[in-house]
Structure 1
Amino acid sequence: MAMMHNSKDKAGVLLVNLGTPDAPTAPAIRRYLREFLSDTRVVEIPRAVWLPVLYGFILPFRPKKLAHAYASVWSERGSPLLAVSKQQAQQLQTLLGADVPVALGMTYGNPSVASALAELKQKGATRIVVLPLYPQYSGTTTASVFDAIARVLARERHIPELRTINDYHAQPAYIEALAASVRAYRQTHGASEHLLMSFHSIPQRYVNQGDPYDAQCKKTAALLAEALQLKPEEWSISFQSRLGREPWLQPYTDVVLPQYAAKGIKTLDVICPGFSADCLETLEEVAIRYREDFLAAGGEGFRYIPALNADDAHIRMMQSLVQSAL
């Protein structure tokens, strides 16, 4: 449809997160993993080497192993990541008002980035702020969002003006929201001896080639520790969720947990400041499996401090980022 000469520019917001299977079943997980692990941003291995591994070993077997893990965190609202992301989009929409439409897309799975862009186009948005919900930039996450958008817009004649937010790892409002969540949790449950900040890991090779993720994670952790006025011995940083045999960012969370118990740290609080919404990696890997590992190694108390999710301070921080970009 042709534009009228008196049409006015309208702003919109595209929120993007990683994605999730449509159901906690092996077939749904297989579809999701196929899309996710086929992304050359995620796995930077020559296709001739990687695709036989993906299709011959990972996709036939891993979905069955993951089905139980996904089922353990699934709720009546479905996937926790999707449920929280929808809530975040709805609350941001309320703060921005009806004149600035907000659409949610996932890099992999549903709702897709394509459907979110179509929704914004249908609502007349000609200027779009893209907010990937990754506090720290990585080529494996944030850059994949931009790739997904580019693939969709390659088919469009009229490209909207895009304003992208690459990261917010050191935004004061983000750091204060994290600190407030820790203070509130500890006010209710009491403080443990040590606060562990666990971030999703990526291959060390990616950082060696220029990915800023490691530095940004460490900056976030240092700023959070400063905001909480923690002494150096009262907090530490680690990296979780590694896959494969090559070195990833260290120290590894699953390795340091028994070490803490062996050193006499009996009670541990864990927060994951790289996750904007709770998901399989926080609710199952950290809150369930890592807790079991720590207690089995001699620890006596392990508490996971939830992600910011749809906390008011978190949504106000998003509102501030969007309004600054506009």
Structure 2
Amino acid sequence: LFPHYASATSGSVYQEVAKQLSKSWVIPNFNFIAQYYDHPAFIQAWIEAAKKHNLDDYDKILFSYHGLPKSQVNKVYSDMQCDGKNCEHEINEDNHYCYKATVYETSKLIAEGLNIPRDKYEVSFQSRLTNNWLEPFSDDVLKSYPGQGIKKVLVFSPAFTADCLETIIEIGHEYKELFEAAGGQKLDYVESLNFSDSWVQAIIEIVNSKVR
């Protein structure tokens, strides 16, 4: 259930499924759904999740996505280079399988659905292992906010359709602590889609739209 294609996630699943199927004498029909980052039902499920919060209570909305090594993102392109592909601003023929481009598009669509102005939200990346991962880094962004007068932040993490350590602990506890230590007053997290009715319906619509 990865909304955005990445070789480390969706690609690895495809590889293992193909490996196991190759052992069968009779291989059944099957379909892969590579990604659904812009599916209207997926976007709407996040809009519904956000309704638990009053967006006017926050100075900034942060869309924090799981990071990836830049080298993996670059391999999507024939010239092995993500830079210069306008990934922060549009989806095009070159970048529609680029993780960076698709997470920016998801953020834009959710923000538009919630009437969040472009200058009120930002996209960042968490859970990095080295500095050669996608930037900006969520922890650095959050630590910088109080010095800019941004004291109240609401965080989305749309790469995860179910809450996990990266959302509950990393964002809900660790990032909240570092934000407050830097002078922030309030950091809230939009719970993931989990088993919400809107997400269950979205899964049905996504599957039907992709396999029929």
Please indicate the TM-score interval, normalised by the length of the shorter structure.
0.7 to 0.9
Residue number in structure 1 paired with 2:62: 196
Q: State the SS of the aligned residue for 1:163.
A: coil
Residue number in structure 2 paired with 1:97: none
Superposition map of 1:1-40 within 5 A: none
Could you state the TM-score of these two structures normalised by the residue count of structure 2?
A: 0.86
Residue number in structure 2 paired with 1:298: 183
Residue number in structure 1 paired with 2:114: 228
Counterpart AA for 2:197: D
Say whether 1:317 aligns with 2:202. yes
Q: C-alpha offsets along residues 192-240 of structure 1, whole Å, 9 cap, x if unaligned? A: 2211000001011111221611110010011111111111221111000
The CA distance in 1 between the partners of 2:57 and 2:193, in whole Å, is 18
The CA distance in 2 between the partners of 1:208 and 1:185, in whole Å, is 37
Q: C-alpha offsets along residues 218-273 of structure 1, whole Å, 9 cap, x if unaligned? A: 1001111111111122111100001135x111100011111111101111100101
The CA distance in 2 between the partners of 1:320 and 1:157, in whole Å, is 32
Residue number in structure 2 paired with 1:219: 105
Could you tell me which of 185, 209, 214 is aligned with 2:75?
Answer: 209
Could you tell me which of 123, 126, 139 is aligned with 1:240?
Answer: 126
Counterpart AA for 1:240: Q
Given that 2:39 and 2:206 are in contact with CA atoms closer than 8 Å, whether structure 1 keeps it comes out as: no
Residue number in structure 2 paired with 1:5: none
Say whether 1:149 aligns with 2:17. yes
The CA distance in 1 between the partners of 2:75 and 2:155, in whole Å, is 29
The CA distance in 1 between the partners of 2:206 and 2:113, in whole Å, is 20
Could you say which structure has the greater relative contact order, defined with CA pairs below 8 angstroms and 6 or more residues apart?
A: 2
Gap regions ≥5 residues in structure 1: 1-132
The CA distance in 1 between the partners of 2:56 and 2:105, in whole Å, is 26
Counterpart AA for 2:114: L
The CA distance in 1 between the partners of 2:115 and 2:208, in whole Å, is 30
Q: State the SS of the aligned residue for 2:52.
A: helix
Say whether 1:274 aligns with 2:159. yes
Residue number in structure 1 paired with 2:81: none
Residue number in structure 2 paired with 1:69: none
Given that 2:142 and 2:179 are in contact with CA atoms closer than 8 Å, whether structure 1 keeps it comes out as: yes
Residue number in structure 1 paired with 2:47: 179
The CA distance in 1 between the partners of 2:151 and 2:18, in whole Å, is 49
Paired residues in the alignment total 191
Counterpart AA for 2:6: S
Q: State the SS of the aligned residue for 1:195.
A: strand
Superposition map of 1:111-130 within 5 A: none
Q: State the SS of the aligned residue for 1:277.
A: coil
The percent identity for this pair of structures is 36
Given that 2:41 and 2:206 are in contact with CA atoms closer than 8 Å, whether structure 1 keeps it comes out as: no
The CA distance in 1 between the partners of 2:35 and 2:191, in whole Å, is 21
Question: Larger Rg: 1 or 2?
Answer: 1
Whichever structure has more helix as a proportion of its residues is 1
Counterpart AA for 1:198: S
Q: State the SS of the aligned residue for 1:186.
A: coil
Shift of 1:295: 0.2
Shift of 1:323: 2.1
Residue number in structure 2 paired with 1:93: none
Q: State the SS of the aligned residue for 1:140.
A: helix
Shift of 1:191: 2.9
Given that 2:162 and 2:193 are in contact with CA atoms closer than 8 Å, whether structure 1 keeps it comes out as: yes
Residue number in structure 1 paired with 2:82: none
Q: State the SS of the aligned residue for 2:6.
A: coil
Q: State the SS of the aligned residue for 2:46.
A: helix
Gap regions ≥5 residues in structure 2: 77-96
Q: State the SS of the aligned residue for 2:155.
A: strand
